[in-house]
């Protein structure tokens, strides 16, 4: 059955290709506009605060010393042109903006290509005049619009901030090219693998490997050559506002063209709803965790949970390994610690303060995990994967409750992995942090994670199409709100709207149980309201 969206876009179109392109643009425009706003606003905010942060020459010198530390280079990238607003902006938020755009590019590409094809909604497209390669090419081109516009937006805001035009153009071009690269990567994996989940995981693995190569190359000078093998490393190699190199960007462009061409070519060598890698159909039956609805929810979560755990664990293990390097530097230079606090790095002079600062960021990926899992539950329902279960004598509320319990358990497992990874890294480098303190710092973020789960559940019950977006608001939205409020020195009540403003810096201080109870209660209320809506609505409602 063809959805209203497809019918509206295809009806009466003079040119089938134009109709397909319009359809693809319509499918990505909402999320794309949000990502565009973030990629433009973050550099603008940092550039606008440069003068206040770096006006004092002593402050500038202190920040430069901090940035030169191998541990800080590993986390934030090599410091380039910190004496300019543009260079400081690239160092502070360049990697974050690049990762945000790359992640969106992967999810959007696999969703509107492999996801739509597997759901059967491409049948009408492929029954027309356009062959499969042409349909794939037009969908990839539609997603590629956003990275191009984002790169232009980054350049524009940096120019408006008064930074060097050449540096602004180089950085904007690099951001845009990196987004295009991951559209091509996701487009290729969507042709190679016959399932959206596998295609997405493979593309995300490429993102993670590229980011890890950049971090290692920045942290260890003897392995700096690794940056030439990473799209993030090539972005850093362009050195905007200092060398303004074009060769790394040309290499990134060439890789993007090759991957995009390979994706379109691969589409012409496979069957519809198939992949270059055929799905295995001769393996032995796997009946583990099929004994109940609850066990099945756990089974569906285990594979993605493993991927999230590996990524989060690797990052926080790296945090643990670099903790002593940063804290030793700041402990021996109190003035440097004070200037770092003025630049937004508070409490870095102690192991507990450094880990507390970075544990707060843990709520972003784990909150994203809960939003993605609830969105996957809605997608499974809309794709008829739960039809047989709902036809059985099983209450729909039980299905939802099983998903909530499994997702909560997965979130607890992820924050625990992060705590263990940090503790392991610190102990390995002869640091002093107890296991309980590390776990407490990680578990302290659970109230924000539960808020994300509650918001996603609320959306799943009442407005299911925005489940992922609603689930990302408490964590990602709350963090960005806090950053923006601090950057523009907003009034106190605006800052207090962010749950991060109420998060105690554990293990530097003890857990604020009052705040924890309040946020957890709000999360429970949201989940109950979502459950009531889910009970009232129809399937695929």
Confidence bin at 75 (pLDDT 50/70/90): confident
Can you give the pLDDT at residue 153?
96
pLDDT on residue 12: 46
pLDDT band at 2 (very low <50, low <70, confident <90, very high): very low
Helix (H) or strand (E) holding 242: none
Of the listed ranges 28-37, 47-56, 196-205, the one predicted with least confidence? 47-56
pLDDT in tens, 361-404: 899 999 999 998 998 888 888 777 777 777 677 778 888 999 99
Rounded to an integer, the average pLDDT of 206-232 is 88
Structure token pair of residue 389: 């279960």
Q: Give the pLDDT confidence score for residue 271 in this predicted structure.
A: 85
Question: Looking at residues 252-276, what average pLDDT do you find?
Answer: 92
Confidence at 141, pLDDT banded by 50, 70, 90? very high
Is pLDDT of 134 > 80? yes
pLDDT surpasses 90 at 282: no
| Whole-number pLDDT of residue 483 | 77
Of 414, 450, 431, 451, nearest to 355 by C-alpha is: 431
**Per residue in 144-162, pLDDT tens?**
999 999 999 999 999 999 9
Q: Note every long-range contact of 475-483, with CB atoms under 8 Å and residues 24 or more positions apart, other chains counting.
A: 475/363, 475/364, 475/366, 475/367, 475/368, 475/371, 475/448, 475/449, 475/451, 476/364, 476/367, 476/368, 478/448, 479/361, 479/363, 479/364, 480/38, 480/42, 483/42, 483/45
CA distance 442 to 465: 31
Angle CA 315–318–323, to nearest 5: 125
Nearest partner of 361 among 322, 328, 315, judged by Cα: 315
Structure-block tokens of residue 185: 């990567």
Joined together, the tokens standing for residue 494 give 């605006």
Residue 43 has pLDDT above 70, yes or no: yes
Considering only 162-171, 317-326, 383-392, 481-490, which range has the smallest mean pLDDT? 383-392
Residue 337: the pLDDT is: 63
Across the chain, mean pLDDT equals 86
Q: Lowest-pLDDT range, 168-177, 429-438, 445-454?
A: 429-438
Between 455 and 79, where is the model more confident? Answer: 455
What is the distance between the alpha carbons of residues 179 and 106, in angstroms, rounded to a whole number? Answer: 9
Handedness of CA 397, 401, 404, 410 (dihedral sign): negative
Over residues 524-539, the pLDDT tens digits come to: 999 999 999 988 877 6
pLDDT digits (tens, 9 = 90+) for 321-356: 888 887 877 776 666 666 556 555 566 668 888 888
Q: Does residue 130 register a pLDDT over 90?
A: no
Q: Which of 450, 476, 472, 465 is nearest to 371 (CA)?
A: 472
Predicted local distance difference test score (pLDDT) of residue 541: 55
H helices present in 332-395, as ranges: 334-342, 351-360, 363-382, 387-390
Rounded to the nearest 10 degrees, the angle between the axes of helix 435-443 and helix 396-428 is 140
């Amino acid at each position: 059955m063809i959805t209203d969206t497809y019918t509206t876009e295809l009806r009466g179109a003079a040119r089938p290709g134009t109709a397909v392109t319009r359809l693809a643009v319509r499918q990505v425009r909402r999320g794309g506009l949000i990502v565009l706003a973030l990629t433009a606003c973050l550099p603008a905010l940092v550039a606008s605060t440069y003068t206040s942060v770096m006006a004092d020459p002593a402050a500038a010198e202190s920040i430069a010393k901090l940035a030169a530390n191998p541990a800080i280079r590993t986390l934030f990238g090599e410091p380039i042109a910190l004496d300019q607003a543009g260079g400081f902006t690239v160092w502070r938020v360049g990697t974050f903006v690049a990762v945000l755009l790359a992640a969106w590019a992967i999810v959007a590409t696999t969703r509107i290509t492999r996801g739509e094809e597997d759901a059967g909604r491409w049948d009408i497209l492929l029954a027309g005049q356009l062959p499969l390669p042409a349909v794939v090419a037009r969908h990839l081109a539609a997603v590629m619009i956003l990275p191009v516009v984002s790169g232009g937006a980054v350049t524009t805001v940096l120019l408006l901030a008064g930074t060097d035009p050449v540096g602004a153009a180089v950085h904007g071009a690099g951001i845009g090219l990196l987004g295009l690269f991951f559209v091509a990567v996701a487009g290729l994996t969507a042709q190679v693998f016959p399932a959206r989940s596998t295609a997405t995981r493979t593309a995300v693995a490429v993102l993670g490997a590229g980011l890890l190569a950049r971090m290692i190359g920045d942290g260890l000078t003897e392995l700096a050559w690794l940056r030439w093998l990473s799209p993030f490393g090539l972005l850093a190699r362009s050195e905007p506002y200092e060398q303004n190199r074009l060769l790394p960007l040309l290499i990134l462009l060439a890789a993007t063209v090759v991957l995009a061409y390979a994706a379109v070519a691969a589409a012409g060598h496979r069957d519809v709803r198939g992949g270059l890698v055929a799905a295995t159909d001769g393996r032995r039956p796997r009946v583990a965790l099929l004994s109940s609805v609850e066990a099945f929810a756990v089974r569906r979560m285990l594979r993605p949970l493993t991927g999230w755990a590996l990524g989060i664990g690797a990052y926080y293990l790296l945090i643990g390994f670099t903790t002593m390097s940063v804290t030793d530097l700041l402990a021996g230079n109190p003035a440097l610690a004070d200037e770092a606090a003025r630049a937004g790095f508070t409490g870095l002079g102690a192991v507990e303060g450094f880990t507390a600062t970075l544990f707060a960021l843990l709520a972003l990926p784990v909150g994203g995990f809960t939003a993605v899992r609830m969105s996957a539950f809605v997608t499974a329902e809309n794709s008829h994967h739960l039809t047989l279960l709902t036809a059985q004598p099983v209450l729909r509320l039980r299905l939802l409750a099983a998903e909530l319990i499994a997702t909560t358990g997965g979130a607890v497992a992820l924050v625990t992995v992060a705590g263990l990874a940090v503790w392991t890294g610190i102990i390995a480098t002869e640091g002093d942090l107890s296991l309980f303190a590390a776990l407490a710092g990680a578990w302290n973020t659970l109230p924000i994670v539960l808020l994300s789960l509650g918001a996603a559940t609320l959306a799943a019950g009442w407005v299911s199409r925005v489940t992922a977006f609603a689930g990302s608001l408490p964590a990602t939205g709350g963090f960005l709100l806090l950053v923006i409020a601090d950057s523009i020195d907003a009034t106190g009540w605006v800052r207090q709207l962010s749950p991060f403003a109420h998060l105690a810096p554990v293990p530097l201080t003890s857990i604020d149980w009052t705040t924890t109870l309040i946020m957890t209660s709000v999360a429970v209320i949201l989940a109950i309201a979502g459950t009531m809506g889910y009970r009232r609505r129809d399937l695929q409602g």
